[in-house]
Amino acid sequence: MAGKMYILKASWILPAWDREPIQDGALLIQGERIEAVGSTEELIQRYSNLPVEDLGEVLVFPGLVNAHTHAPMTIFRGLADDLPLMVWLHNYIFPVESHLRAEWVYWGAKLAVCEMLRSGVTCFCDMYLFEPWVIRAVEETGVRAALGEGLFDFPSPGYGALEKGLNLTEELLKNFERHPLINIMVCPHAVYTCSPETLKKIRRIAERYGATVHIHLSETEDEVKECVSRYGRRPVAHLDSLGLLTGNLHIAHAVELTDGEIELLARRGVSVAHCPESNLKLGSGIARIPEMLAAGVRVTLGTDGPASNNDLDLLSEMRTAALLQKGLYRDPTVLPAREVFRLATEEGARALGFPECGRLERGFRADLVTLDLTRPDLTPVHDPLSLLVYSARAGAVVDVMVEGHWLMRRGKFLTVNEEEVRIRIAEVVREIRTLLRK
């Protein structure tokens, strides 16, 4: 593949979760890909004719993957907190969403992309309504994403009757079949909002296109109880009986799992998006991550929507994930930084159908992030991985590159006008407040 070739150097590079950090490191970039990684001295010697750009005193690491969110819900951040999931959904979120408009989704998604880039996310997994407008925001900003229209039995403000939602999903699958930055998924909301007939239709579409199915599953005890009373089976067995438990299934939450269910998910190659902060905030519980990892389940990390977290900061999500299991097990060796970083990079990328992302190595896509090592909270550098997982927070990110293109340089966005987004969001919020007063 042709493309401009150049060297990027920095004080530290962490190429991947299982590689040692390189002090005074460099990357050879060609077009959208990484051609080589090594010490600056070595790369400059080997490629003495190439231009060299110095990123300065930063840590370069592979872009993080937010493996479950509802990006446009930034517009509902802080709208209603401290409520049980079903009360929160039925009394607050669903009623406001029934008035949802495409423009809200578009500006909400742009705000979400700004927020995610500032926390080092270069790729995210999105399930929401009016998804073509999220796709528009993704295409305009140049970020990477796996997305799908949220599907359920009742009429949607996005597409109307379910059949139209299924048609929309097929249309998106056809239109974005070979897009380098966008993967389309089929997204049934949950087993309590999609009938078995709906889930069968969804399975057939996913099979036809080889698409990933993304669904909320086993999030709360109530969901499991309701599923058992309605269908006589727990959610995992219910999906299995409908033929959906395959290597193309990506489930969010998986808080309520038995040992047998964990074994089955591992055997079938199902991937799990662990969303610890959302599970904590909604009082849903704590997912059995060490057991899932021991059984060989592919675990990834997500923030969930910004109305139930309440941010899209994957750096803080890494720290929460690690601390939570250590506290739960009363064992500081559980879920070490390296493991959490693996979930947030390589595992997330694979689950979302981007196997060439999540590592800074020859042949991988140039999706990278830099962290400001001159900040007091990121000083000194004994161990870059420790800084990244336990000390870094959103705002410490300096530069972001996706597919070889800079989306942020020295803290400034190059593909999105942050001020315009803020103004538009203020307009959207005025409309939401008016609706809430009615």
Of the pair 35, 304, the CB lying nearest Zn ion is at 304
| DSSP state string for 184-215 | E-BEE--TTTS-HHHHHHHHHHHHHHTPPEEE
Residue 224 and residue 198 in contact, taking contact as beta carbons nearer than 8 Å: no
Of the pair 131, 304, the CB lying nearest Zn ion is at 304
Residue 91 and residue 112 in contact, taking contact as beta carbons nearer than 8 Å: no
- Residues touching Zn ion: how many (CB under 5 A)? 1
Return the range that interacts with Zn ion (CB under 5 A); candidates 25-33, 43-51, 296-304, 382-390.
296-304
As measured in angstroms, the least distance from the Cβ of 207 to Zn ion is 24
Of the pair 74, 370, the CB lying nearest Zn ion is at 74
Identity of the residue numbered 184:
I
Q: In whole angstroms, what is the distance from residue 378 CA to residue 371 CA?
A: 9
Of the pair 256, 304, the CB lying nearest Zn ion is at 304
Of the pair 25, 305, the CB lying nearest Zn ion is at 305
Q: In whole angstroms, what is the distance from residue 231 CA to residue 424 CA?
A: 45
Q: Which of residues 222-251 bind Zn ion (CB under 5 A)?
A: none
Q: Which of residues 309-368 bind Zn ion (CB under 5 A)?
A: none
Of the pair 251, 289, the CB lying nearest Zn ion is at 251
List the x/- string, 255-294, binding to Zn ion by CB under 5 A. ----------------------------------------
Q: Residue 304 interacts with Zn ion (CB under 5 A)? A: yes
Of the pair 71, 368, the CB lying nearest Zn ion is at 71
As measured in angstroms, the least distance from the Cβ of 292 to Zn ion is 18
Residue 366 and residue 53 in contact, taking contact as beta carbons nearer than 8 Å: no
Q: In whole angstroms, what is the distance from residue 246 CA to residue 198 CA?
A: 17
Of the pair 32, 304, the CB lying nearest Zn ion is at 304
Of the pair 12, 128, the CB lying nearest Zn ion is at 128
As measured in angstroms, the least distance from the Cβ of 335 to Zn ion is 22
- Helix crossing, 102-118 with 418-437: angle to 10°? 130
Of the pair 91, 434, the CB lying nearest Zn ion is at 91
Pairing of strands 249-253, 213-217: parallel
Which residue has the CB atom at the shortest distance from Zn ion?
A: 304
Residue 37: closest CA among 384, 364, 427, 426: 364
Beta-bridge mates of residue 59: 12, 371
Return the range that interacts with Zn ion (CB under 5 A); candidates 18-26, 92-100, 222-230, 297-305.
297-305
Residue 80: closest CA among 307, 257, 325, 259: 307
Return the range that interacts with Zn ion (CB under 5 A); candidates 152-160, 300-308, 338-346, 350-358.
300-308
- Radius of gyration for the alpha carbons in the chain, expressed in angstroms and rounded: 21
As measured in angstroms, the least distance from the Cβ of 402 to Zn ion is 23
**N-to-C CA span, the chain:** 57
As measured in angstroms, the least distance from the Cβ of 70 to Zn ion is 6
Return the range that interacts with Zn ion (CB under 5 A); candidates 19-27, 298-306, 335-343, 396-404.
298-306
List the x/- string, 146-175, binding to Zn ion by CB under 5 A. ------------------------------
Q: Which of residues 105-124 bind Zn ion (CB under 5 A)?
A: none
- Helix crossing, 196-209 with 162-175: angle to 10°? 10
As measured in angstroms, the least distance from the Cβ of 133 to Zn ion is 18
Q: In whole angstroms, what is the distance from residue 83 CA to residue 102 CA?
A: 27
Contacts of 62 (CB under 8 A, 6+ apart): 14, 15, 16, 345, 346, 357, 358, 359, 360, 364, 367, 368, 369
Which residue has tokens 């001295």?
A: 41
As measured in angstroms, the least distance from the Cβ of 182 to Zn ion is 20
Return the range that interacts with Zn ion (CB under 5 A); candidates 153-161, 281-289, 301-309, 399-407.
301-309
Q: In whole angstroms, what is the distance from residue 91 CA to residue 94 CA?
A: 7
Return the range that interacts with Zn ion (CB under 5 A); candidates 43-51, 137-145, 230-238, 303-311.
303-311
- Helix crossing, 131-141 with 102-118: angle to 10°? 40
Of the pair 149, 304, the CB lying nearest Zn ion is at 304
As measured in angstroms, the least distance from the Cβ of 275 to Zn ion is 7
As measured in angstroms, the least distance from the Cβ of 409 to Zn ion is 32
Residues that bind Zn ion in the complex, under the rule CB under 5 A: 304
